[in-house]
C-alpha cells in the first residue's frame, strides 16, 4: 500500500473537498491510502470520516500566520515525513505553491499541481504571486492536472494548452446516489412545507464566485410572477449573513429557505424543479454534475465552462442579460421535466461516475509512486 499526501486549505464542504472525498470513499484503500496536509487549525467537516477511512490529517500554519512560519513548518514536515512518494496539491491559482517547492527540495518523487478554477480574486499581492509563479512553477512539479480545459488555459497559459501538457481529471460523482427519487422529493418537500410550490434551487458555498446576490434579484422577479415560488439554498459560507440580510430587505424571508450545509444533497436536488447557477466564474462545478444526474434543468451563467454541459438540460445565459430574461427561461424550463430518473445513466455514460475517476487515479498513483 502507498500513501498519497493531498495538500489544501482544509476539509470542509466545497467543490474540491467533495471531489476528494468522493474519490477517497471509492478508491481501493488497500492499495492507495490518502493523508491530508491542511492549513487551518479548526477541525474540518470531513476530519472524522477521514480518520475512520484510515487517513491522517496534518496541520501547518497558513501564510496569514506569517510567511516564514509557514515555510519553516512546511520544510520541517517534508523533512520529517519521507514516506510520501506522491504529493498532490489542490489550488485555485498559482499564488501559493510553497508546499510543492518544499516537496521538491525534499526529493518527493511525484509532485502534482491540480487547478480547480478559471479565475481567482484576491489582493494585488495574490495576483502578483500568481503571475510570478506562472513563470517558475514547472521547476517544482512533475505533473499538472486541471478540472477543465478552460482552467488549464487560465492557470497554465495558451501554449501549454496547445501542447496538451496537462491532464483534465473529470469530477466523478456517485451517479446512482443522485438518481431522481420521487420518494425523496415528497419527503423533503413535506418536511419544508413546500409540497405544491415551484422550487428553484441552488447548491454551493456562500462565496463571491457563486453570485448569490444576483440569484436573489432574479428570484425576486420570479416571485412577483409566481407567488408559489420558493428559493431553496443548500450550502454555507462567509457571505451567508449578507445574503440573509438582503433577503429580509426584499421582503422574501418567507420564500427563501436557507437549508445550510447538508451531508447528503441528493434528496434536496430531487425536491427541486430547476437548478440556477449564476456564477461569476467556475472551474468545473461538481454540484452542476449532481444536478444533471438528478435530471434537473439547469440555468447557468455563460461564465461556467461548456465542458460541464453533459445533458441537453443545461441552458446558458449572460450575466449582462436583464433579470427578466433569466426569469423567462427559468419559468419555461421548470415545466418540461420528464423522465428525470434516466439522467443519472447519461452522466455515468459520459464518464463522470466516481468509479471511473477513482480507478484512473489509483493506477496513476501506483505507477508514479
- For 123-162, write each residue's pLDDT tens digit: 778 888 888 888 889 999 999 999 999 999 888 887 777 6
**What is the per-residue pLDDT for 126?**
81
pLDDT per position as a tens digit, 167-222:
999 999 999 999 999 999 999 999 999 999 999 999 999 999 999 999 999 999 99
Q: Do domains 2-172+353-368 and 182-349 have the same CATH topology?
A: yes
Q: Which pLDDT value is given to residue 336? A: 65
pLDDT tens per residue, range 319-356: 999 999 999 999 999 876 678 999 999 999 999 999 99
pLDDT value for 84: 97
Residues 243-259: tens digit of each pLDDT = 999 999 999 999 999 99
pLDDT number for residue 188:
98
User: Which cell is 209 given?
Assistant: 464566485
**According to CATH, what is the number of the domain 182-349?**
3.40.50.2000
pTM summary value: 0.90
Give mean pLDDT, residues 288-316.
96
Longest dimension (CA), the chain: 63
Predicted pLDDT at 128 = 85
Question: Given this model, what pLDDT does residue 98 score?
Answer: 96
Residues 73, 66: Cα–Cα separation, whole Å: 11
Q: What is the pLDDT of residue 112?
A: 98
Q: Cα dihedral sign for 117, 142, 30, 33? A: negative
* 114 conformational bin, left if phi > 0, alpha if psi -120 to 50, beta if neither: beta
Pick the CATH number of 2-172+353-368 from 3.40.50.2000, 1.20.1300.10, 3.20.20.70, 3.40.50.2300: 3.40.50.2000
pLDDT at 130: 86
Q: What is the mean pLDDT of the chain?
A: 94
At residue 186, the pLDDT reads 97
| Cα–Cα distance measured from residue 20 to residue 39, given in angstroms and rounded to the nearest whole number | 16
Percent over 90 (pLDDT), the chain = 85
Domain locations along the chain? 2-172+353-368, 182-349
The better pLDDT of the pair 117, 114 is held by 114
Query: Comparing 20-24, 85-89, 365-369, which segment has the lowest mean pLDDT?
Result: 365-369
pLDDT tens profile 27-56: 999 999 999 999 999 999 999 999 999 999
- Mean per-residue pLDDT, 284-313: 95
Comparing CA positions, the residue from 210, 226, 366, 360 lying closest to residue 279 is: 210
pLDDT at 99 (0 to 100): 97
pLDDT score recorded for residue 253: 96
Q: Which of 19-23, 62-66, 114-118, 154-158 has the lowest mean pLDDT?
A: 154-158
For the residues 297-314, what does the mean pLDDT come to? 95
Residue 337's pLDDT is what?
Answer: 65
Amino acid at each position: 500500500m502507498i500513501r498519497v499526501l493531498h495538500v489544501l486549505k482544509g476539509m470542509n464542504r466545497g467543490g474540491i473537498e467533495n471531489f476528494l472525498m468522493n474519490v477517497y470513499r471509492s478508491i481501493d484503500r488497500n492499495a492507495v491510502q490518502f493523508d491530508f496536509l491542511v492549513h487551518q487549525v479548526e477541525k474540518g467537516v470531513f476530519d472524522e470520516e477521514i480518520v475512520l477511512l484510515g487517513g491522517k490529517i496534518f496541520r501547518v500554519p497558513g501564510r496569514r500566520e506569517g510567511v516564514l512560519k509557514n515555510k519553516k513548518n512546511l520544510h520541517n514536515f517534508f523533512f520529517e515525513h519521507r514516506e510520501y512518494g506522491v504529493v498532490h496539491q489542490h489550488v485555485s491559482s498559482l499564488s501559493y505553491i510553497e508546499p510543492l517547492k518544499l516537496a521538491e527540495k525534499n526529493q518527493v518523487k511525484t509532485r502534482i499541481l491540480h487547478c480547480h478554477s478559471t479565475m481567482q480574486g484576491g489582493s494585488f499581492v495574490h495576483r502578483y504571486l500568481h503571475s510570478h509563479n506562472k513563470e517558475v512553477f514547472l521547476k517544482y512539479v512533475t505533473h499538472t492536472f486541471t478540472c477543465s480545459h478552460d482552467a488549464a488555459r487560465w492557470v497554465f497559459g495558451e501554449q501549454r494548452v496547445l501542447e496538451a501538457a496537462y491532464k483534465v481529471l473529470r469530477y466523478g460523482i456517485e451517479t446512482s446516489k443522485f438518481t431522481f427519487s420521487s420518494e425523496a422529493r415528497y419527503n423533503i418537500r413535506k418536511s419544508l412545507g413546500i409540497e405544491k410550490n415551484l422550487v428553484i434551487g441552488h447548491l454551493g458555498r456562500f462565496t463571491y464566485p457563486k453570485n448569490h446576490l444576483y440569484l436573489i434579484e432574479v428570484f425576486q422577479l420570479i416571485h412577483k410572477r409566481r407567488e408559489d415560488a420558493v428559493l431553496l439554498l443548500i450550502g454555507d459560507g462567509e457571505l451567508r449573513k449578507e445574503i440573509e440580510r438582503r433577503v429580509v430587505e426584499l421582503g422574501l424571508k418567507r420564500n427563501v429557505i436557507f437549508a445550510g450545509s447538508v451531508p447528503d444533497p441528493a434528496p434536496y436536488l430531487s425536491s427541486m424543479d430547476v437548478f440556477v447557477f449564476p456564477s461569476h466564474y467556475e472551474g468545473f462545478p461538481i454540484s452542476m454534475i449532481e444536478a444533471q444526474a438528478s435530471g434537473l434543468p439547469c440555468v447557468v451563467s455563460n461564465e461556467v465552462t461548456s465542458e460541464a454541459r453533459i445533458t441537453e438540460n443545461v441552458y446558458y445565459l449572460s450575466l449582462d442579460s436583464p433579470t427578466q430574461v433569466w426569469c423567462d427561461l427559468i419559468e419555461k424550463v421548470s415545466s418540461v421535466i420528464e423522465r428525470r430518473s434516466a439522467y443519472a445513466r447519461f452522466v455515468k455514460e459520459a464518464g463522470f461516475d466516481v468509479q471511473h475517476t477513482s480507478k484512473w487515479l489509483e493506477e496513476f498513483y501506483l505507477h508514479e509512486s
